Amino acid sequence: MQLFELFLQSNSLDAIVTSDFSFSSLFLRADWVVRGVMLILMAASIWSWAIAVDKGIMIFSLNKHAKTFEDIFWSGKTLDELKVELKDSLRDPMSRVFSAAIKEYDEYSSLKIKSNASMSSQYRIDSITNLIVNRELSKLERGMTSLATIGSSSVFIGLFGTVWGIMNSFRAIAASQNTSLTVVAPGIAEALFATALGLMAAIPAVIFYNKYTADLNKYGGRLEGYADELSAILSRKISKNT
């Protein structure tokens, strides 16, 4: 009979302990250091997801506009026809590269000084296309540093919260001279919760960073290849005019 009563008491104690281990209870019960770590990690996770959604939409739009632009550019139309159709289109980086290069080419065409101006004009076209490409790629890479920082630091921030929570558990044991589950469990649970939040922030950030880095590198190669092709086309036209 006594064993049965002890069993019921232990089960009721476990029920009380586990009932207080919800995420909100863990957060509210934590001390200010662990709570600050949790807030930082939750904010980092939300920020990484916001960047990821923004980059996903941006890359989808870039590829869509690039395909439309390339279909028009390589449709067999003359340069004069393309100038009319694409010169004022600034929806995507390819359009801006085309607009800047054509503007430089038009300035050369209006000079009427073929022999002296051809080489300098080709150099300026190459320079302006490279400048626009680098500027556009720099704009596209905004936010990637934040993803990399969140992915690399969140685990260590969570680890700090873990260590602090375990230290609190040891302090509770030393103060109460009791190693029962009711004394140890809260600090350990807070520590593990901080670790979980760190992983929740770091893992998606690392995945998104690797994915979008590969996508941006692929698009960067596509943009640079187009800029080289456009520069070569304009250089051939300049050479014919000299």
Return the DSSP state at 75: S
Q: What pLDDT was estimated at residue 115?
A: 52
Residue 2: the pLDDT is 42
Question: Residue 5: what pLDDT?
Answer: 42
Structure tokens at 82: 């393309």
Taking residue 110's Cβ as centre, other Cβ atoms within 10 Å add up to: 7
Q: What is the pLDDT of residue 18?
A: 43
CA dihedral (182, 185, 190, 196) in degrees, to 10, reads -150
**Positions in the chain short of pLDDT 70:** 1-30, 87-89, 110-119, 176-187, 241-242
Q: Does an H or E element contain 43, and which? A: helix 32-73
What's the rounded Cα separation, in Å, for the pair 115 and 242?
6
Per-residue confidence (pLDDT) for residue 127, from 0 to 100? 87
Give the length of the chain.
Answer: 242
pLDDT of the residue at 152: 93
CA distance 46 to 58: 18
For residues 223 and 133, is the Cβ–Cβ distance under 8 A? yes
CA separation for the pair 102, 90 (Å, rounded): 13
pLDDT at 9: 41
Q: What is the 3-state secondary structure (H, E, C) of 103-149?
A: HHHHHHHCCCCHHHHHHHHHHHHHHHHHHHHHHHHHHHCCCHHHHHH
Surface-to-core class of residue 120, CB atoms within 10 Å of its CB (0-12 exposed, 13-18 middle, 19+ buried) = exposed
Contact at 8 Å (CB) between 49 and 57? no
- Rounded Cα distance between 154 and 148, Å, is 10
